[in-house]
Amino acid sequence: MIRDAALTDLPAIVEIYNSTIPLRESTADTQPVTVEGRRGWYAAHVPSRRPLWVHAEGGEVLAWLSFKDFYGRPAYAATAEIGVYVREDARRRGIARALVRHAIDESPALGLSTLIAVVFAHNLGSRTLFKAHGFEEWGRLPAVAQLDGRPADVLMLGRHV
């Protein structure tokens, strides 16, 4: 079930996020984040404008998707960046697909006409996920990240809704 995240979901959200850091595929963070450190991030999500959703089953959060402002200036108000993270033992079950489809479907009600996903070029899973939902490569930033001393390209994927 997809629903708005509650503050009580924040520990599970942080745990899912932190589990992706060692993989060096999904986030540019290289050290774990804390629940306390993410409270402001959580509070910045407004359900009617830039929601934070979780996919929960049996009371457990298995995945989450967040919207955030793109570039933070008024002319970009109809564009949002989305990110999706799935608990390791829940991957390959279609949960990320369902969250992205939900994001696309709900975007007009959120005042959005464009969605952006920023992914590492070497993250084939994310690239495949977003491309399956009509996202196209709109830009490549070569070697803008350093992951364990290795350069990594970042892709800007986008689609209009």
> Domain map of the chain by residue range?
2-160
Query: 30-38, long-range: CB within 8 Å, 24+ apart, which pairs?
Result: 30/147, 30/148, 35/10, 35/11, 38/10, 38/13, 38/14
Query: Mind listing the pLDDT tens digit of every residue in the chain (161 residues)?
Result: 999 999 999 999 999 999 999 999 999 999 999 999 999 999 999 989 999 999 999 999 999 999 999 998 999 999 999 999 999 999 999 999 999 999 999 999 999 999 999 999 999 999 999 999 999 999 999 999 999 999 999 999 999 99
Task: Give the global pTM.
Answer: 0.95
Architecture of domain 2-160: 3-Layer(aba) Sandwich (3.40)
